[in-house]
A and B are shown apart, each in its own frame.
Chain A
């Protein structure tokens, strides 16, 4: 696949990337027509950075950041941002944790210092830690009652094995109970450092103002700490069909979940190709699987496919909701479709449909400052922000032959992980 990753693209990146002397990256885009500003802070401190047996740490820390710093009392930041009409939230995944605010531009100078202080100087108080542990455990319990969460988790374990991508970001209840505030302070002070962070600011704020505000608010970081080492478990290489089965009470429909791993963002064009193949297979009613399985054979209630680009190991999934009795037939039909992908190039009409769909989806999901900030921050965390805007151009360059090659290399019909979910 050498030829795929080689060419550099030159799409104009509409935002500025600024590196501060302390190593912090700022990405700024001025949108003069909007009175809103989104600030999205991305930290390379997802679940994959957790030391051995510190599982659940990255996500638990995301909760504790909102408990404040020496200067900011628990809940004070939430009040400051929301009482001025803004909104805030956060999310953690394997590759990142990110924290965002959206606010009317005039409130930015008064809210940003609070936001930066809780991020850089999270106090992680012992009492608050104990209380928040109960909240995280409730979050885990809620997921345990969600069959789709359980199914996806089982699939990730099947496809990623013992590597960090196979673990639940939340950790288990037992793991969360083992975390200590001291460990967490160490994890925070190791990872929430300038070279690991990208502050994206998009909306109704000009460049110089944005840089000045961020430089001031994100000027002083905590004294560095050092976490215990983590053993990187190699990503397992799927060489056959690996199967798990989940029996759940009260399941009203069976699920067939299939997954293939793929290279990470280093081979971006492979990711783009798999994104396109996922749409070819199950994006919309004229896609191959929806048309054949749902509309014609009527052997599934629904079928979908997703591709998720990750730093080290992307993943393509195909999910079908169906009657128990159809499981073997449907899996065989999906295999047939994959065989066909390997042997026959797609038609120009299909290729054009996919290109239009994905390019429009990109346009449709970059309308607001918050959407743009999220996009740039994500790409800058797993690679470089500029990659985000090469998406459409890379899609346009794809040909039926290249996509067939990618299918042959990565979407093998005899080499995948499968999780079957049935009622007890």
Chain B
């Protein structure tokens, strides 16, 4: 798992190829990443990346939707597209013998999608329904409320699905224009891992993608969004069995490594696993919650640090107070060295456990490359975790755990009286 031999190269047309050989199973996984996704969307076209990713597998200038599904499924391969705020990705997993043919198909999808009008219409309807379906889950609603409050007007503020208004307005021509702008070889990273010799993998990518040339026009830069902090308390009254309580704080981008890494350690300390502080204090000792944790996503731009729990409605106020107290505590006290070491071990151990399968390895290195960290970040991150001090933790907690954004969902009688 550690120190897999990795080769990275840049083809003549600008494609970055990352290859890792892993002979453990007769499988090859690939991730084709492009610098496209939520960050590159204009406010009037929110959701275009997602719609494009949904329709991308449904027709090319050579193949129909049914042809594509048949080619993938008749070989038992997995192929899918996905999009996040920071990237677009096409994922592929096959048994080794099928890999060249499926990679050829993937190239056709990436290069020559036809966005058939009927398929755009179908996926648009499914997306609209998907947006409605997200309202069914209290956690999704509370998190959406938090994101909206923290990221007004920012691509991280909404779901990747877009809004009903923007989705209704998108046309196949919009998809073609978006595709033409961002889907080009000098904007592409192909990361592979599996039972394939690294040089053969690179030669295969070159043979399949090598004749794709980048347009002369410079790649447009994504807009750099600005944020005005407006911490506050936001409440959704809803007649649920549990209240959901979330505290959010603006948090550093992964590119601010000196702050990012200690905050990752804090996140581990507070929210990771059965021995985490929130789990022990609020679940084990007080029985307040089944689901209580924290998360801090790795983001290109400013991220968010969120601590949350689901609790009985009558405990809503207690939950707010307890979560807030735990975060303030980190600003006030210096942790024990033993806690710091355990959190580092936990973070690094879980990091290693997250790099076991071919797909996980291909994903991690390709992702580091596409968000401009580079594959060396794999080692840099681990070294930086080891170097974090107790003072770092307190400094970072004081810097970021200031006034929180609060998002609460639950029965009106219990949530409307919350004092903060």
B333 at the interface (CB under 8 A from A): no
A100 at the interface (CB under 8 A from B): no
Within 8 A of B (CB), among A367-399: 367-368
Within 8 A of A (CB), among B341-362: 341-342, 345-346, 348-350, 352-353, 356-358
Query: A10-18, A71-79, A185-193: which lies at the B interface?
Result: A71-79
Whether A138 and B274, one on each chain, are in contact in the complex, defined by CB atoms closer than 8 angstroms, is no
Known interface pairs A359-B76, A367-B27. Does A104 touch B290 (Cβ–Cβ under 8 Å)? no
Query: A219-227, A244-252, A264-272, A337-345: which lies at the B interface?
Result: A244-252
Cβ distance B48 to chain A, nearest Cβ, rounded Å: 21
Whether B342 and A83, one on each chain, are in contact in the complex, defined by CB atoms closer than 8 angstroms, is yes
In the assembled complex, the Cα of A144 lies from the Cα of B290 at a distance in Å of 13
Cβ distance A129 to chain B, nearest Cβ, rounded Å: 11
A415 at the interface (CB under 8 A from B): no
Whether A35 and B1, one on each chain, are in contact in the complex, defined by CB atoms closer than 8 angstroms, is yes
In the assembled complex, the Cα of A361 lies from the Cα of B312 at a distance in Å of 40
Inside 8 A of A33's CB, which chain B residues have their CB? Answer: 23-24
- A31, A35, A82, A253 pick with most chain B CB within 10 angstroms: A82
Whether A82 and B74, one on each chain, are in contact in the complex, defined by CB atoms closer than 8 angstroms, is no
Whether A78 and B273, one on each chain, are in contact in the complex, defined by CB atoms closer than 8 angstroms, is yes
Whether A142 and B290, one on each chain, are in contact in the complex, defined by CB atoms closer than 8 angstroms, is yes
A19 at the interface (CB under 8 A from B): no
Whether B346 and A364, one on each chain, are in contact in the complex, defined by CB atoms closer than 8 angstroms, is no
Cβ distance B308 to chain A, nearest Cβ, rounded Å: 12
Known interface pairs A36-B353, A138-B242, A253-B129. Does A367 touch B358 (Cβ–Cβ under 8 Å)? yes
B75 at the interface (CB under 8 A from A): yes
Inside 8 A of A6's CB, which chain B residues have their CB? Answer: none
A195 at the interface (CB under 8 A from B): no
Cβ distance A306 to chain B, nearest Cβ, rounded Å: 17
Whether A301 and B73, one on each chain, are in contact in the complex, defined by CB atoms closer than 8 angstroms, is no
Whether B138 and A321, one on each chain, are in contact in the complex, defined by CB atoms closer than 8 angstroms, is no
B10 at the interface (CB under 8 A from A): no
In the assembled complex, the Cα of A133 lies from the Cα of B286 at a distance in Å of 11
In the assembled complex, the Cα of A367 lies from the Cα of B23 at a distance in Å of 11
A239 at the interface (CB under 8 A from B): no
Whether B78 and A364, one on each chain, are in contact in the complex, defined by CB atoms closer than 8 angstroms, is yes
In the assembled complex, the Cα of A283 lies from the Cα of B137 at a distance in Å of 26
Q: Mark B115-140, 1 if CB is under 8 A from A, else 0.
A: 00000001001100110110111100
Inside 8 A of A142's CB, which chain B residues have their CB? Answer: 241-242, 290-291, 310
Within 8 A of A (CB), among B39-73: 65-66, 69-70, 72-73
In the assembled complex, the Cα of A9 lies from the Cα of B383 at a distance in Å of 50
Query: B159-167, B203-211, B259-267, B277-285: which lies at the A interface?
Result: B277-285
A85 at the interface (CB under 8 A from B): yes
Inside 8 A of A414's CB, which chain B residues have their CB? Answer: none
Whether A84 and B284, one on each chain, are in contact in the complex, defined by CB atoms closer than 8 angstroms, is no
A177 at the interface (CB under 8 A from B): no
Whether A364 and B353, one on each chain, are in contact in the complex, defined by CB atoms closer than 8 angstroms, is no
A87 at the interface (CB under 8 A from B): yes
Inside 8 A of B136's CB, which chain A residues have their CB? Answer: 147, 250-253
Inside 8 A of A137's CB, which chain B residues have their CB? Answer: 312
In the assembled complex, the Cα of A194 lies from the Cα of B304 at a distance in Å of 48
Query: A50-58, A325-333, A350-358: which lies at the B interface?
Result: A350-358
In the assembled complex, the Cα of A102 lies from the Cα of B312 at a distance in Å of 33
B35 at the interface (CB under 8 A from A): no
Within 8 A of A (CB), among B282-330: 283-291, 310-312
Q: SS class of chain B's interface: helix, strand, loop or mixed? A: mixed
Q: Mark A300-343, 1 if CB is under 8 A from B, else 0.
A: 01100000000000000000010000000000000000000000
Whether B287 and A134, one on each chain, are in contact in the complex, defined by CB atoms closer than 8 angstroms, is yes
Inside 8 A of B280's CB, which chain A residues have their CB? Answer: 75
Whether A285 and B65, one on each chain, are in contact in the complex, defined by CB atoms closer than 8 angstroms, is yes
Which range contains the number of A residues in contact with the other chain?
A: 35 or more
Inside 8 A of A74's CB, which chain B residues have their CB? Answer: 284
Out of A79, A85, A144, A250, name the residue touching B348 (CB < 8 Å).
A85
Whether B133 and A356, one on each chain, are in contact in the complex, defined by CB atoms closer than 8 angstroms, is no
**Interface size on B (CB < 8 Å)?**
66
Out of B26, B95, B348, B356, name the residue touching A368 (CB < 8 Å).
B356
Inside 8 A of A133's CB, which chain B residues have their CB? Answer: 287
Inside 8 A of A291's CB, which chain B residues have their CB? Answer: 66
- A131, A132, A251 pick with most chain B CB within 10 angstroms: A131
Whether A144 and B241, one on each chain, are in contact in the complex, defined by CB atoms closer than 8 angstroms, is yes
Cβ distance A329 to chain B, nearest Cβ, rounded Å: 17
Inside 8 A of A298's CB, which chain B residues have their CB? Answer: 122, 125
Q: Which residue of B lies closest to A352 (CB)?
A: B74
In the assembled complex, the Cα of A147 lies from the Cα of B358 at a distance in Å of 34
Whether B356 and A250, one on each chain, are in contact in the complex, defined by CB atoms closer than 8 angstroms, is no
In the assembled complex, the Cα of A86 lies from the Cα of B274 at a distance in Å of 11
In the assembled complex, the Cα of A146 lies from the Cα of B66 at a distance in Å of 34
Known interface pairs A131-B287, A301-B129. Does A285 touch B69 (Cβ–Cβ under 8 Å)? yes
Whether A363 and B27, one on each chain, are in contact in the complex, defined by CB atoms closer than 8 angstroms, is yes
- A89, A291, A368 pick with most chain B CB within 10 angstroms: A368
Whether B76 and A286, one on each chain, are in contact in the complex, defined by CB atoms closer than 8 angstroms, is no
Known interface pairs A298-B122, A353-B74. Does A360 touch B242 (Cβ–Cβ under 8 Å)? no
Cβ distance B342 to chain A, nearest Cβ, rounded Å: 4
Cβ distance A172 to chain B, nearest Cβ, rounded Å: 12
Known interface pairs A104-B349, A142-B291, A295-B65. Does A253 touch B26 (Cβ–Cβ under 8 Å)? no
In the assembled complex, the Cα of A103 lies from the Cα of B93 at a distance in Å of 27
Inside 8 A of A161's CB, which chain B residues have their CB? Answer: none
24 contacts between A and B (CB under 8 A): A33-B23, A36-B1, A36-B352, A82-B273, A83-B345, A85-B350, A87-B273, A87-B349, A88-B273, A88-B274, A89-B274, A103-B349, A134-B288, A137-B312, A138-B287, A252-B133, A253-B132, A284-B73, A295-B65, A298-B122, A298-B125, A302-B126, A360-B94, A364-B27
Supplied contacts A33-B24, A133-B287, 13 more A-B pairs, CB within 8 Å: A34-B356, A83-B275, A83-B345, A89-B274, A131-B285, A135-B283, A137-B312, A144-B242, A145-B138, A321-B133, A358-B76, A363-B25, A364-B93
Interface residues of A (CB under 8 A from B): 31, 33-36, 66, 74-75, 78-79, 82-89, 102-104, 131-139, 141-142, 144-147, 249-253, 283-287, 291, 295, 298, 301-302, 321, 349, 352-353, 355-361, 363-364, 366-368
Which 5 pairs from chain A and chain B are nearest by CB? Answer: A85-B349, A134-B287, A356-B76, A360-B76, A83-B342
